[in-house]
Amino acid sequence: MDVAPGVNEALKDFVLPETLGFGAVNAPVMFSAEWRDQQWGRGRLLPYGPIEILPGARALQYAELVFEGLKAYCVGQTQPNLFRPEENFRRLERSAQRLSMPVVPEALFFEGVESVTKACAGFIPSRSGQSLYLRPFLFGTESGYLLRNSHTFRFMVIANPVEAYASGSPSVAIERRDVRAAVGGVGAAKTAANYAASLRGSTAAVTGGHAVALWLDAVSHRYIQELSGMNFFAIIDGELHTPELDTAILPGVTRDSLIKLARRLGYTVHERQMDVEELLAQIASGRCSEIFACGTAAIVMPISALADTDGGVFKPRETNVIASRLRDTLLAIQERRAPDAFGWIRVLS
Ligand code: COI
């Protein structure tokens, strides 16, 4: 890997601010590698800053872009660690394949993720819940309107010292007009287009005082898919229920980890189609005691209420009981405060 001029100065000059937010503070370095003539060039560590891209690049014109989100933790440790990074690698690979983009080789993915993490090791925030959020992404750089893939691509990794994405127990707005993803589309790929489709609903939810929108399936508008950027869980009769994966739902690494942890803790977990009308009735009757969301950025986000478009507000009788147990159990493993029984931790030496 090459190290560009200015990297050492950028790292030396960086001061970790007291307030981090989520994505408001940029790490001072980034990683970049280019694909041309059917092969990947050498990776480079660069000072964080603007990049040059042709205005006609397919990433800008046709959203030819896939990305990942994972975290490096350094809570009470001298060496940082990643959490299940091979899952992010495999999902980036699947996302790239869905958009018929060249896959990033595993060695290049880890070179990017690990070089940025190691360069930033001295200022990964160290309070529980904080981390260095890593954003690997791959995009088409060839200019042109012909609807086919680019012939040139760029793989980059940027990073942000962060707090948890969401705090407290917010309400969530049920989105009944827009659709985020349809079966057979790109909903299961982590690609910019999914997030673009959700922007109007997400913005309306935030403007209405809610944290995010809850998305329903594209055909019957009844079955819960996920929240904007998070997967969904409900506790019904003491058991966990989450929408079963299809090609419209993003297979979250946190979702998968919570299912495994919950089963180990003795909970029954159902992955099934979840009808929103049935869920609202179960909240009203008390059978559904609690709901929450999860994701890499959000970790586990308890939800205090579901707000419907007709003004109905459905509040489960409990908030953050099982969610907080799962969050604490997961975070203790991620931060290496608890044994890594599943072999999920990769320590960077
Ligand atoms: C993540 O959790 O990594 C995401 O990409 C979600 C995004 C809304 C921050």
Does 346 map to a domain?
A: no
| pLDDT for the residue 164 | 85
CA 9 to chain CA centroid, Å, is 31
Residues 210 and 288 in one domain: yes
List pLDDT tens digits, range 137-190: 999 999 999 999 999 999 999 999 999 888 899 999 999 999 999 999 999 999
**Domain boundary at 162, 188, 219, which?**
162
List pLDDT tens digits, range 10-25: 999 999 999 999 999 9
Does 84 map to a domain?
A: yes
**CA–CA separation, 86 vs 121, rounded Å?**
20
Tokens standing for residue 141: 């750089």
Residues 121 and 229 in one domain: no
* 296 Cβ inside 6 Å of ligand 1: yes
Q: Look at the chain and report how many structural domains it folds into.
A: 2
CATH code of residue 10? 3.30.470.10
| pLDDT for the residue 93 | 98
Does 345 map to a domain?
A: no
Residues 158 and 200 in one domain: no
User: Residue with structure tokens 């931060």?
Assistant: 335
* 229 Cβ inside 6 Å of ligand 1: yes
| pLDDT for the residue 187 | 98
* 160 Cβ inside 6 Å of ligand 1: no
**CA–CA separation, 195 vs 315, rounded Å?**
27
Nearest-atom index, ligand 1, CA of 190: 5
Tokens standing for residue 212: 């995010």
**Domain boundary at 137, 162, 187, which?**
162
Structural domain range at position 193? 171-334
| pLDDT for the residue 111 | 98
Best residue for ligand 1 mutational test, from 230, 250, 330 (most atoms within 8 Å of Cβ) = 230
**CA–CA separation, 303 vs 321, rounded Å?**
11
CA 13 to chain CA centroid, Å, is 29
Averages of pLDDT over each 10 residues, the chain, 349 residues: 97 97 98 98 98 98 98 97 98 98 98 98 97 98 98 98 92 97 98 97 97 98 97 98 98 98 98 98 98 97 98 97 98 98 97
| pLDDT for the residue 167 | 85
Best residue for ligand 1 mutational test, from 92, 296, 301, 334 (most atoms within 8 Å of Cβ) = 296
Residues 46 and 19 in one domain: yes
Does residue 193 contact residue 250 with C-beta atoms inside 8 Å? no
CA 336 to chain CA centroid, Å, is 21
Residues 15 and 130 in one domain: yes
| pLDDT for the residue 166 | 84
- Spacing, Cα 163 to ligand 1 middle (Å): 13
**Domain boundary at 98, 127, 162, which?**
162
Residues 25 and 158 in one domain: yes
